[in-house]
Chains A and B, each alone.
Chain A
């Protein structure tokens, strides 16, 4: 599925009081140096809400960069557009003794289009500093000031904004002109961090000091979920010429519907007739929806164009119909209109997409949450929805994969918005069944015939193979079966059952030198096709919690025919490993006909775990890896 065309212009950044700070790179606090490539000496943002449609953001950021990996932490850029104007931007660079070595003015910043991959055109722009450090450490001071009428986006304040960066002082201040403009704030992940909050009439402020750098660790949750931040919003806001008054998600949905979505869905009579004709034999609403969705998939493609208000508003359905392309908003709105034409009701949905599951905040309605749009089709029971992502041309109807699954999203109804959770694919939903017939040959070669069935997220990882050519298919098997050298692909066929969301691979391979000949013995691993050798990295001291965001269930059954003239010398014992992370069992049995039957079941559970469980999880995976590598010894009769 394609990413994010829902653009919110980032005007985060920070501002400043005039205050004496020491610009030498001399930081002696060990807690700030450990694991840090850069130390944020000062990060300040002052948000002045002057009127409902006038907000000024003044920021100052002082960063001491310790080495070249720290350069990215200077954040020396600023996004702007026709509404978000840069009033001031400048930078000063100091050497490690605190001597000024360079002064950079607005014209020294490079001015480029803020187009990211996958976007054809956007009128957002960014000015950034392309500074080549001449020594480390150095200290850079960046000051900026931006003015915008769009008070709907009061920036979110992150006290830490990346791994490997420590913080000496961070200050976030919101000043508002009158009580009507008082922002609501939501504090997230403050945990044990010492963050001071101060409220005076017409001002709210936060101050954090001395926070150590965080090192990235495998399987850790999203950075945003573990570090402190403050979200803010105005009840009375302004967005590109439109005012709003929003106290809850219901009202934000209503505002979206009335101001952003209404009137975007008109289609010509000919188009409506066309889809009505397509669904004429369909009995239920869901059948109709499926036909319409598949029709939309077959005639459109994802192209993102972001102009002006288009960061939030979909382009007209009639335009999408003419061009046959659109971004997530455009394609969702178009599909919604097509569904409407055949009498099927659906709702436009804002969601934060990505493989990390990020929820909308239950009681904190803002327009800046979410980066993607999908559709929800209500089923008979109104609390149950079928979700469709209109930016994919290949996903089955009602299957959203790991891009928007299992998270709280905003469903926008004409009567208001609601927070709802999307479909989750957990554990046994994500199943893989492998049945295989394996022949070992005298010369060490192996012949494999396998049927692989996948569902859920495992389906999502496989079904794209259907469209690949032979070279790519071979590459895929070389990749997943990397322990088998010299794979030759004899034959393969795929069956993509979109109704049941099940993908079946029928594959035949041969490979030389799979088994090891050792004098009169043959050594081989019976788990030919599904070795789970992944062991999470060892950390001397694990700091962060970890999560298994999507568990799965694998079941393997192989019949292994051993070469003529050999008998089994040693069979591994059956194994069972049970832990709170899942269950694993494997066994090899000698059948009456002389063949071996290998069976394996592995259930991995979805869950969030504290850091002190990490070692246990590693042990669990290590035992599995070791089991999956167990060998059988055959000996000449």
Chain B
């Protein structure tokens, strides 16, 4: 590999440009080594003192343009918690020969202050490791020698890649602060990229233009006839072109800190995304990649692993005919096909909007990736005469597709139009149903790809609230023990989660879990309906008894009106919040509880009713309690009406939960008559 690389380097004809380098490798100051903490964030275990990333295109005569990323970082390690930043791992793609990514020019040094002098320890070649982590990737790894609290480490290397998309995301924010960073991306005029900002940090993108030049060596062979020796003559020609340079310079970039109820922190890490829109080389036609939604969709649609897959139909033809026999309405047909694909196909866990095995093979083997399964579904719906289309989706962990880009999507579902209404379908999950996609896909909007290649958006969040309802009647005895019945009713996503979590555990194990969840009740009788009937609510009936349901102190009894169903803790503890709170789907939690108080007791006091709201219709809490001749009738409804709540509403949400917790944990006081 290294030999090949050296040869390749010899062929490099560098694109000329210059850049004033302000931080020289090796010039680490005593001040940097003496620094004990980062003044702007004293909690940081380490900080990047300086980071320089330069991305450029280099012309290689044998292959054409390749992408080079030059990385130079200097990191201060303040304490042991920062040691993990002394290890660097780069994953490099290994394609067919010639399309490998490589790491070259590695230089790394650890600096320590020893008796007032700077001591340097260099990383040796033998201290680096190359791991073949899979068929397609190797990982180059090293960890810095002689690392101590207070050390400064510095390394630089180059990643060479034949893939134009290799730098589709340039990270601007780490889990530790970055004191100073410079990013420079130089792109020859032949490549038209779109850049998109991600995250919450502000930066300025400076654009300049430089000139570049390639020298081609042309080899001409002549002779070789019967009497003439072969001769080779060389000539060279020049190509001048423009290089568009964008640079970012940032100071004091804060560390990315984790928060609760976030779908994926990666969505909020600041970065600049690059997506190739088209290439326009001299003497060639323009090649489109993406740019507008129309182009992105067209590009995806025209791929053989997408559009062509929709057209194949022979493989399921007879099965479909059988399936449709006797089905008359569009709804019946759609349901039959959806249920069939869902039960026939097993999802192999792989995402993607391009097929993996191809629909035909997947159908035969009964397993495939998301595209294999859902494109097959679209195709079958269409062939049954229904208006069905694929919908491109970005999963929750993939981030929000705000701008037209191919990388924005990583998933595909189906939409079918029934009587003018769009119904979303995903056949990869056993527990989803029409218009209830698996939670992983509920992320803003999807993009419908129409049959003519045009596109339009469709919201993915459910517009209904998923319900959990508890109806309970309970009798409490003098010693605080209780006995009663619970009817629990789970609909939509609550039922989905119930099924996902409990489908493969035995009833005994489930009941033990439930007893634990319900604060140690002992279940004496249990039945469940519709456990596997997707589309219908799960209905459980539970008979139970429990000790210590109320507290008997002196001649009084203290009782929590919601018993163990009260929310005892505020889930939101931090003072400020940067990122939205993401619940996935709107929901409502209802409790209706009738409590028979023991003979010989009367209600001395009970909580007052309460109605609380948060924001403009974001959430609502209603609490009522009535004493009806010794039977306490308690009603508590808590609902969150939006999937996503912005950080501006965080304080309101936190206060709302505080009110909920306080109200739900208030006590009823009973006293002896």
| A residues adjacent to B (C-beta < 8 A) | 35, 37, 67-69, 102, 110-113, 115, 120-121, 132-135, 215, 298-299, 301, 303, 305, 322-325, 393-394, 467, 469-471, 475, 478, 482-483, 485-486, 513, 516, 518-519, 521, 523, 535, 537-540, 569-570, 572, 622, 626, 629-633
Whole-angstrom distance between the Cβ of B507 and the nearest chain A Cβ: 11
Interface string of B154-191 (1 = CB under 8 A from A): 00000000000000000000000000000000000000
Complexed CA–CA distance, A586 and B352 (Å): 61
Q: Is the CB of B143 within 8 A of A112?
A: no
Q: Is the CB of A486 within 8 A of B658?
A: yes
Select one of B556, B569, B661, B662 contacting A482, CB under 8 A.
B569
| Also in contact, A485 and B570, with CB within 8 A (given A134-B365, A324-B147, A633-B553) | yes
- Interface membership of B79, Cβ < 8 A: yes
Closest 7 CB pairs of A and B: A469-B43, A134-B366, A132-B348, A121-B129, A570-B554, A132-B367, A323-B145
B366 CB contacts on chain A under 8 angstroms: 134-135
Whole-angstrom distance between the Cβ of B47 and the nearest chain A Cβ: 14
Select one of B349, B512, B551, B658 contacting A631, CB under 8 A.
B551
B658 CB contacts on chain A under 8 angstroms: 485-486
Q: Is the CB of B512 within 8 A of A537?
A: yes
Q: Is the CB of B141 within 8 A of A298?
A: no
A322 CB contacts on chain B under 8 angstroms: 121, 145-146
Q: Is the CB of A134 within 8 A of B83?
A: no
Q: Is the CB of A540 within 8 A of B512?
A: yes
Interface residues of B in 474-514 (CB under 8 A from A): 504-506, 508-509, 511-512
* A297 nearest CB neighbor, chain B only: B80
| Also in contact, A521 and B516, with CB within 8 A (given A110-B135, A485-B569, A633-B556) | no
| Also in contact, A133 and B346, with CB within 8 A (given A113-B131, A485-B570) | yes
Q: Is the CB of B147 within 8 A of A132?
A: no
Complexed CA–CA distance, A632 and B554 (Å): 10
Q: Is the CB of B669 within 8 A of A521?
A: yes
Most buried by B among A478, A516, A535, A629: A516
| B residues adjacent to A (C-beta < 8 A) | 42-43, 79-81, 83, 86-87, 121, 127, 129, 131-135, 141, 143, 145-149, 345-349, 365-367, 504-506, 508-509, 511-512, 515-516, 520, 522, 547-548, 551, 553-554, 556, 558, 568-570, 573, 604-605, 658, 661-662, 665-667, 669
| Also in contact, A121 and B520, with CB within 8 A (given A113-B133, A303-B87, A324-B146) | no
B665 CB contacts on chain A under 8 angstroms: 516
Q: Is the CB of B520 within 8 A of A120?
A: no
B349 CB contacts on chain A under 8 angstroms: 132
Q: Is the CB of B512 within 8 A of A570?
A: no
* B574 nearest CB neighbor, chain A only: A471
Select one of B143, B347, B348 contacting A120, CB under 8 A.
B143
Q: Is the CB of B669 within 8 A of A120?
A: no
Q: Is the CB of A519 within 8 A of B605?
A: yes
Q: Is the CB of A134 within 8 A of B367?
A: yes
A121 CB contacts on chain B under 8 angstroms: 129, 131, 141
Q: Is the CB of B79 within 8 A of A132?
A: no
A69 CB contacts on chain B under 8 angstroms: 504-505
Q: Is the CB of B551 within 8 A of A120?
A: no
Select one of A68, A112, A135, A523 contacting B504, CB under 8 A.
A68
Q: Is the CB of B512 within 8 A of A135?
A: no
* B149 nearest CB neighbor, chain A only: A298
Whole-angstrom distance between the Cβ of B275 and the nearest chain A Cβ: 30
A303 CB contacts on chain B under 8 angstroms: 87, 143
Q: Is the CB of B148 within 8 A of A298?
A: yes
| Also in contact, A67 and B504, with CB within 8 A (given A111-B135, A572-B553) | yes
Q: Is the CB of B516 within 8 A of A537?
A: yes
Complexed CA–CA distance, A634 and B129 (Å): 68
B520 CB contacts on chain A under 8 angstroms: 535, 538, 622
Complexed CA–CA distance, A324 and B127 (Å): 12
Whole-angstrom distance between the Cβ of B126 and the nearest chain A Cβ: 10
Select one of A115, A470, A523, A630 contacting B43, CB under 8 A.
A470
Task: Identify 17 residue pairs between A and B in the complex whose beta-carbon atoms are under 8 Å apart, listed by A's number.
Answer: A115-B133, A120-B87, A133-B346, A134-B365, A298-B148, A299-B148, A323-B145, A324-B147, A393-B80, A467-B80, A470-B43, A518-B669, A537-B515, A538-B516, A570-B553, A570-B556, A626-B548
A35 CB contacts on chain B under 8 angstroms: 506
Whole-angstrom distance between the Cβ of B516 and the nearest chain A Cβ: 6
B346 CB contacts on chain A under 8 angstroms: 132-135
A569 CB contacts on chain B under 8 angstroms: 554
| Also in contact, A115 and B131, with CB within 8 A (given A303-B143, A633-B553) | yes
Complexed CA–CA distance, A132 and B370 (Å): 13
Select one of A120, A470, A523, A631 contacting B141, CB under 8 A.
A120
B553 CB contacts on chain A under 8 angstroms: 570, 572, 631-633
Q: Is the CB of A518 within 8 A of B127?
A: no
Q: Is the CB of A469 within 8 A of B42?
A: yes
B345 CB contacts on chain A under 8 angstroms: 134
Complexed CA–CA distance, A470 and B575 (Å): 13
* B148 nearest CB neighbor, chain A only: A299
Whole-angstrom distance between the Cβ of A112 and the nearest chain B Cβ: 5
Whole-angstrom distance between the Cβ of A582 and the nearest chain B Cβ: 20
Whole-angstrom distance between the Cβ of A606 and the nearest chain B Cβ: 25
B127 CB contacts on chain A under 8 angstroms: 323
| Also in contact, A633 and B667, with CB within 8 A (given A132-B347, A134-B367, A324-B148) | no
A626 CB contacts on chain B under 8 angstroms: 547-548
Whole-angstrom distance between the Cβ of B573 and the nearest chain A Cβ: 6
B548 CB contacts on chain A under 8 angstroms: 626, 629
Whole-angstrom distance between the Cβ of A534 and the nearest chain B Cβ: 11
B604 CB contacts on chain A under 8 angstroms: 519
Complexed CA–CA distance, A483 and B661 (Å): 12
Complexed CA–CA distance, A37 and B509 (Å): 13
Whole-angstrom distance between the Cβ of A33 and the nearest chain B Cβ: 10
A622 CB contacts on chain B under 8 angstroms: 520, 547
Q: Is the CB of A37 within 8 A of B87?
A: no
Q: Is the CB of B504 within 8 A of A394?
A: no
Q: Is the CB of A631 within 8 A of B87?
A: no
Q: Is the CB of A538 within 8 A of B131?
A: no
Q: Is the CB of A325 within 8 A of B43?
A: no
Complexed CA–CA distance, A523 and B666 (Å): 10
Whole-angstrom distance between the Cβ of B257 and the nearest chain A Cβ: 8
| Also in contact, A471 and B43, with CB within 8 A (given A67-B504, A69-B504, A322-B145) | yes
Whole-angstrom distance between the Cβ of B589 and the nearest chain A Cβ: 19
Complexed CA–CA distance, A558 and B554 (Å): 23
Given A299-B148, A324-B148, 18 additional A-B pairs, CB 8 A: A112-B134, A115-B131, A133-B367, A134-B365, A134-B367, A301-B80, A303-B143, A323-B145, A323-B146, A325-B147, A467-B81, A469-B42, A470-B43, A483-B568, A486-B570, A521-B669, A570-B556, A633-B553
